[in-house]
A = this chain, B = another copy of it.
Amino acid sequence: MAAPTFQALPGFRDFIPSECAVRNYLFDTWRSVARRCGYVEYESPILEDTGLYLKKSGGELSSQLFRFEDQGGRDVTLRPEVTASLARLVAEHQRNFPKPLKWFEIGQCFRYEKPQKGRGREFHQFNVDILGEAGPAADAELISLAIETMLAFGFVEGDFVVRASDRNAWIDFASRNGVADASMADFLNIVDKIEREKPEALAQKLAAFSLTIDQVRAFIADPANASPAYLAIRDDLTARGLGGFIELDLSIVRGLAYYTGVVFEVFDSKKSMRAVAGGGRYDTLVATISDGAVDLPATGFAMGDYVIRNLIEETTHAAMQMEVWLQRNAAACDVFVVVADETKRPEALKLVTDLRRAGVSADLPLGAAKVAKQFQSAEKSGARFALIVGAEYPELKLKVLSSRAEESCNASSAVDWLTDRLQQPDGPLLA
Contact = CB atoms under 8 A, between A and B. Distances in A.
A12 B45 contact: yes
Contacts of A289: 5-6
B42 A15 contact: yes
B1 A293 contact: yes
Contacts of A271: none
B15 A78 contact: no
Given A74-B9, A239-B345, A346-B239, A293 B42 contact: no
User: How many of these chains are in the complex?
Assistant: 2
A294 to B, nearest CB: 9
> Could you tell me the dominant secondary structure of chain A's interface residues?
mixed
Nearest to A4: B92
A77 B3 CA distance: 22
B8 A45 contact: yes
A119 to B, nearest CB: 16
Interface string A350-380: 1011001101111100110000000001001
Interface stretch (A132-140, A199-207, A304-312): A132-140
A366 B137 contact: yes
Interface residues of A, number: 99
Nearest to A37: B356
Contacts of A217: none
A256 interface: no
Nearest to A41: B20
Contact of A10 (B37, B72, B138, B363): B72
Nearest to A69: B68
Contacts of A156: none
A10 B291 CA distance: 21
Contacts of A381: 38
Interface stretch (A98-106, A172-180, A190-198, A247-255): A98-106
A6 B49 contact: yes
A349 B15 contact: no
Interface centre among A36, A55, A130, A291 (most CB of B within 10 A): A36
A396 interface: no
Nearest to A112: B71
A412 interface: no
A38 B6 contact: no
A70 B43 CA distance: 25
Interface string A16-44: 11001101100000000001111111111
Contacts of A76: 9
A130 B7 CA distance: 21
Interface in A35-79: 35-49, 51-52, 55, 66, 68-72, 74, 76, 78
A21 B290 CA distance: 26
A240 B333 CA distance: 18
Contacts of A359: 36
7 residue pairs, one from A and one from B, having the closest CB atoms: A38-B363, A68-B68, A239-B346, A15-B43, A12-B45, A137-B366, A240-B353
Interface of A: 1-2, 4-10, 12-17, 20-21, 23-24, 35-49, 51-52, 55, 66, 68-72, 74, 76, 78, 88-89, 91-93, 98, 100, 102-103, 108, 110, 112, 122, 130, 133, 135, 137-138, 141, 144, 148, 151, 236, 239-242, 289-291, 293, 332-333, 345-347, 349-350, 352-353, 356-357, 359-363, 366-367, 377, 380-381, 430
